[in-house]
């Protein structure tokens, strides 16, 4: 998936360290996907004579929601002009992910520095903001009056071509209207265009519009042209947004030439195109729920052939899928409490079959603390089961359900009905198929090609993402790489699914939440 945007951890700050610091520097390292290697990404400027440096230099990173982007910040006291970092005194370090910074309140993360045994190293504050060009979307409608007649056996078939002017004086086409047949007074349909495409964010940049008469053979006849700007268009319908269509050749040949007609702006509206991060910074939480298949088709968990087998040497497919998806989602859930359920098992002590039981055994409080808590509950539940054959506020909450299963769907009609109903809720469903089974029915639920329907009703939007786990297993046995690949694919559609829901309900992100200021710390020298 293409990156959602670029992010800028800025104002990196190390307040109130308890070590005498005279000259400070922060080095950022990034970790490669599927590896343990750290690579230096950049360094801040050097700040003299303060134990509370407030750094200005920014680190510009591409943000990928579907990837776990590990970061490391090392702080040094600079002793010389050497570029060799080992020549300077190490003051402490912290580890985090880019998602943790973005998902923290106000996009501002405070972390304690560590790395020097027996010493308090201070605190570092990391902030992130989205770097983006103008994200506004303009919708406009135009009409024309008394255009030149170009067709011998009719009138004209006019259409408009919009061009954005470039820095070098050339023009780049950015929009074409539809053709209106056989009229000199066309009214074109409203159209939408990113403001960035129209003027590249420069509201006074020239926008040229050509008017053509459409011909079937592609040799369209030039009727005339006019120029405007985004600023002029944004004033909407008024006397200044009636443009004379001029044909320079006709004007040069005919002394009495006035124009080749006029084009009038009928309406103009601008809306903001919000991003996934706008909603996260405004306080939207991703609530993560887990459902795990414990039916007997998984095999006897005490045998190595079982999909639930607990090897002392590596995680099974269920645990890998949980860890791969959960470790990314949890960065966007402030309380890190995840409801986790199992289905298709006989529960002790009476062996009653259940299709929805909490992994932690507590029906009143099914939440597990963090993804590690979910994994621990899964491991504990796994030892005690017999496998069986067979409202929040929408503006602040969006739900992600992870289902991990080895089986095919036996009640497809009811399942499709449930998906169609759920498509109107703030919910995305991730299904990971484990094992060698054929998952054709699952593919049908993943409505990338054909939208899921039930009893004549189409799902309002595509909310299901299905992948077979076997497609992501690294041939060399690298589980970290396998999990990274899985997470990248199953999470890639979540941001767009969240945005489509919010837009369909007219929900706008709240202003970015502010984080509380750091309290003053006393230093002991």
Residue 8 scores a pLDDT above 60? no
Shared-domain flag, residues 374 and 307: yes
Q: Domain of 493: which CATH number?
A: 3.40.50
pLDDT at residue number 400 = 95
Shared-domain flag, residues 349 and 438: yes
Residue 348, in any domain of the structure: yes
pLDDT tens profile 411-425 = 889 989 999 999 999
pLDDT at residue number 519 = 36
Beta bridge partners of 386: 346
Residue 523, in any domain of the structure: no
pLDDT tens profile 244-300 = 999 999 988 888 899 999 999 999 999 888 889 999 988 898 999 999 988 888 888
Determine the average pLDDT of the residues in 208-230: 93
Confidence at 445, pLDDT banded by 50, 70, 90 = confident
Confidence at 514, pLDDT banded by 50, 70, 90 = low
Separation between Cα atoms, residue 206 and residue 200, nearest integer Å: 11
Shared-domain flag, residues 210 and 183: yes
Residue 525, in any domain of the structure: no
Q: What is the mean pLDDT of the chain?
A: 85
**Buried residues in 382-411 as b, exposed as e (16+ CB within 10 A):** beebebbeeeeeebebbbbbbbbbbbebee
pLDDT at residue number 133 = 61
Residue 518 scores a pLDDT above 50? no
Portion of the chain with pLDDT greater than 90, in percent: 46
Separation between Cα atoms, residue 469 and residue 374, nearest integer Å: 19
Radius of gyration (C-alpha) of the chain in whole angstroms? 30
Residue 35, in any domain of the structure: yes
Determine the average pLDDT of the residues in 50-76: 91
Domain, as residue range, for 84: 23-127
Separation between Cα atoms, residue 358 and residue 366, nearest integer Å: 5
Residue 191, in any domain of the structure: yes
| Domain end position, chosen among 227, 250, 272 | 272
Q: What is the 3-state secondary structure (H, E, C) of 162-224?
A: EEEECCCCCEEEEEECCCCCCCCCCECCCEEEEHHHHHCCCCCCEEEEEEEECCCCCCCEEEE
Residue 390 scores a pLDDT above 90? no
Shared-domain flag, residues 317 and 230: no
Residue 513, in any domain of the structure: no
Shared-domain flag, residues 262 and 393: no
Residue 354 scores a pLDDT above 50? yes
Q: Which of 48-52, 159-163, 213-217, 458-462 has the lowest mean pLDDT?
A: 48-52
Confidence at 12, pLDDT banded by 50, 70, 90 = low
Shared-domain flag, residues 314 and 344: yes
Determine the average pLDDT of the residues in 289-314: 87
Contact status, residue 360 vs residue 268, Cβ threshold 8 Å: no
Residue 388 scores a pLDDT above 80? no
pLDDT tens profile 241-260 = 999 999 999 988 888 899 99
pLDDT at residue number 5 = 40
Shared-domain flag, residues 434 and 291: yes
Shared-domain flag, residues 341 and 217: no
Shared-domain flag, residues 322 and 453: yes
pTM score, two decimals?
Answer: 0.71
Enclosing H/E stretch for 412:
helix 412-422
Shared-domain flag, residues 153 and 239: yes
pLDDT tens profile 159-208 = 999 999 988 889 999 999 999 999 999 999 999 998 988 988 889 999 99
Number of domains in the chain: 3
Confidence at 16, pLDDT banded by 50, 70, 90 = very low
Q: Which of 14-23, 100-109, 226-235, 380-389 has the lowest mean pLDDT?
A: 14-23
Shared-domain flag, residues 154 and 85: no
Shared-domain flag, residues 398 and 419: yes
Residue 516, in any domain of the structure: no
Q: Domain of 35: which CATH number?
A: 2.60.40.150
């Amino acid at each position: 998936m293409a990156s959602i945007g670029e992010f800028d951890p800025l104002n990196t700050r190390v307040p109130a360290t308890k070590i005498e610091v005279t000259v400070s520097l922060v080095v950022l390292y990034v970790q490669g996907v599927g590896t343990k290697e750290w690579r230096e990404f950049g360094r801040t400027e050097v700040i003299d004579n303060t134990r509370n440096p407030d750094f200005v230099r920014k680190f510009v990173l591409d943000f990928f929601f579907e990837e776990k982007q590990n970061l490391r910040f090392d702080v040094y006291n600079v002793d010389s002009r050497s570029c060799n970092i080992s020549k300077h005194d190490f003051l402490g370090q912290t580890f985090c992910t880019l998602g943790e910074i973005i998902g923290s309140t106000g996009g501002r993360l405070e972390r304690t520095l560590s790395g020097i045994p027996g010493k308090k190293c201070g605190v570092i504050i990391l902030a992130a903001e989205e770097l983006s060009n103008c994200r506004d979307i303009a919708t406009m409608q135009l009409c024309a009056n008394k255009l030149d007649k170009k067709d011998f056996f009719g009138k004209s078939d006019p259409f408009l071509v919009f061009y954005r002017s470039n820095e070098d004086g050339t023009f780049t086409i950015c929009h074409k209207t539809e053709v209106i047949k056989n009229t000199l007074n066309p009214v074109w349909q409203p159209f939408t265009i990113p403001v960035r495409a129209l003027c590249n964010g420069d509201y006074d940049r020239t926008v040229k519009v050509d008017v053509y008469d459409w011909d079937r053979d592609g040799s369209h006849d030039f009727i005339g042209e006019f120029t405007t700007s985004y600023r002029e268009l944004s004033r909407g319908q008024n006397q200044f947004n009636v443009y004379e269509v001029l044909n320079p050749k006709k004007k040069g040949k005919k002394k009495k030439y006035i124009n080749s007609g006029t084009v009038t702006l009928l309406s103009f509206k601008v809306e903001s195109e919000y991003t996934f991060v706008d909603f996260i910074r405004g306080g939207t939480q991703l609530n993560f729920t887990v459902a795990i298949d414990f039916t007997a088709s998984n095999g006897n968990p005490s045998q190595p052939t079982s999909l639930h087998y607990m090897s002392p040497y590596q995680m099974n497919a269920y645990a890998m899928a949980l860890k791969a998806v959960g470790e990314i989602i949890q960065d966007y859930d402030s309380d890190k409490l995840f409801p986790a359920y199992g289905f298709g098992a006989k529960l002790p002590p009476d062996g009653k079959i259940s299709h929805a039981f909490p992994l932690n055994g507590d029906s009143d409080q099914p939440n597990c603390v963090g993804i590690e808590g979910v994994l621990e509950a899964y491991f504990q539940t796994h030892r005690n089961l017999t496998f069986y054959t067979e409202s929040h506020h929408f503006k602040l909450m969006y739900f992600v359900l992870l289902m991990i299963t080895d089986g095919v769907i036996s009640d497809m009609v009811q399942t499709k009905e449930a998906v169609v109903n759920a498509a109107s809720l703030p919910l995305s469903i991730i299904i990971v198929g484990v094992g060698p089974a054929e998952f054709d029915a699952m593919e049908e639920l993943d409505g990338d090609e054909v939208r899921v329907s039930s009893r004549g009703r189409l799902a309002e939007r595509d909310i299901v993402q299905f992948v077979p786990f076997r497609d992501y297993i690294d041939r060399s046995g690298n589980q970290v790489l396998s999990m990274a690949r899985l997470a990248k694919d199953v999470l890639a559609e979540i941001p767009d699914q969240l945005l489509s829901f919010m837009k369909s309900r007219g929900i706008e992100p709240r202003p970015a939440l502010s984080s509380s200021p750091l309290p003053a710390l006393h230093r002991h020298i």
